[in-house]
Amino acid sequence: MIGVDWGTTSLRAYRLAPGGAVREKREAERGILAVPPGGFPAALRQAVGDWIAAGEDRILLCGMVGSRQGWVEAPYLACPAGAADLAAATVPVPFADATARVRLVPGLAARDAAGVPEVMRGEETKVVGLLAAIGEDAPEATLCLPGTHCKWVRVRAGRVAGFATAMTGEVFAALSSHTILARTLDAEAPPHRGAFDRGLARARQKGGLLHHLFGVRALALTGELPPGEGRSYLSGLLIGHEVAAALEAGVAPPVHLAGAEPLVALYARALDAFGIPHRSHDPDAAARGLALIGERLGETAW
């Protein structure tokens, strides 16, 4: 089977052995934003055509490729939902190739206590892969998937019960490039652990994020925050506020982290600062999730 995690800015393809082991892996800067209208079949052939020619006849996609801007829009599946629910809700994708069939994993939707909606696309598949690593029978677990939009996922009895998204990564990018803070940060500076910790500590003080942000500027003006430390301080401030709010909403420790380094290491450091146990997992959880959902599809559903 072929699994493809097809997001906004990149495409990750996995050639999977029966049982889910990754035989081969590829990554391309060919996210859905880089695919012209009608170009998805060609983009898929370009990415994995040789694997199809070699006999792979099932392709399972997940991620933003199933959004309104993607290939086929797969309606969000409502929580609670687990691997079996996701498999049953996969959507067939028209692919003019006699030898391979393509299906798409839907995203998940949830509502918080106040009724405000939440959505994810792609992360649901990573969660399925992570649950296999954690032990699917865990009565309760909290998963944290850092990224542009970080997902905090509550799992109960092997199914996603609900989740909350924090726009931290994207807010960091917007503030560090498009506000007066840009003048106080050296964009090329390497990460600075001490400055990150200072930002984390600041996030735990009163005043609110919008006030703490101005402190980045004021500390720079008074010479108390060197330009080379500004980015790490801002990063610590934002991640600190995110983690504080997530803890206030409630987590079931340990928090299971999965995502790209070095971001996961920063979240681990933030959880340490709050005294919350955590475990880090394989960032390629999507491959395992695609394999598991594919297995659940069995022979006939394709």
- Of these, 17, 33, 174, 301, which contacts a copy of itself (CB under 8 A)? 174
Closer to a copy of itself by Cβ: residue 10 or 165 = 165
Least distance to a copy of itself from the beta carbon of 199, Å? 11
Amino acid letter for position 248: E
Least distance to a copy of itself from the beta carbon of 115, Å? 9
Closer to a copy of itself by Cβ: residue 149 or 296 = 149
What is the sign of the dihedral through the CA atoms of 71, 76, 77 and 82? Answer: positive
Residue 89 CB partners (closer than 8 Å, separation 6+): 74, 77, 81, 105, 106
118 binds a copy of itself (CB under 8 A): yes
- Of these, 24, 170, 186, 272, which contacts a copy of itself (CB under 8 A)? 170
Closer to a copy of itself by Cβ: residue 269 or 288 = 269
- Of these, 33, 53, 78, 167, which contacts a copy of itself (CB under 8 A)? 167
Amino acid letter for position 187: A
Question: Per residue, what are the HEC states of the chain?
Answer: CEEEEECCCCEEEEEECCCCCEEEEEEECCCHHHCCCCCHHHHHHHHHHHHHHCCCCEEEEECHHHCCCCCCCCCCEECCECHHHHHHCCEEECCCCCCCEEEECCCEEEECCCCCEEEECCHHHHHHHHHHHHCCCCCEEEEEECCCCEEEEEEECCEEEEEEEECHHHHHHHHHHHCHHHHHCCCCCCCCHHHHHHHHHHHCCCCCHHHHHHHHHHHHHCCCCCHHHHHHHHHHHHHHHHHHHHHHHCCCCCEEECCCCCHHHHHHHHHHHCCCCEEECCCCHHHHHHHHHHHHHCCCCC
- Sketch the per residue contact string, 93 through 112, with a copy of itself: x for CB under 8 A, - otherwise: ----------------x--x
33 binds a copy of itself (CB under 8 A): no
24 binds a copy of itself (CB under 8 A): no
Binding segment (CB under 8 A) for a copy of itself, from list 125-133, 228-236, 243-251, 291-299: 243-251
91 binds a copy of itself (CB under 8 A): no
Tokens representing 48 are 């994995």
221 binds a copy of itself (CB under 8 A): yes
- Sketch the per residue contact string, 43 through 82, with a copy of itself: x for CB under 8 A, - otherwise: ----------------------------------------
Q: Which of residues 189-218 bind a copy of itself (CB under 8 A)?
A: 202, 205-211, 213-215, 217-218
124 binds a copy of itself (CB under 8 A): no
Closer to a copy of itself by Cβ: residue 83 or 276 = 276
- Of these, 9, 46, 99, 177, which contacts a copy of itself (CB under 8 A)? 177
Which residue is it, tokens 């060197």? Answer: 226
Q: Which of residues 138-157 bind a copy of itself (CB under 8 A)?
A: 149
Q: Which of residues 245-264 bind a copy of itself (CB under 8 A)?
A: 245-246, 248-249
Partners of 59 in the β-ladder: 2, 102
Q: Which residues bind a copy of itself (CB under 8 A)?
A: 109, 112-114, 116-119, 149, 164-168, 170-171, 173-175, 177-180, 202, 205-211, 213-215, 217-219, 221-222, 224, 238, 241-242, 244-246, 248-249
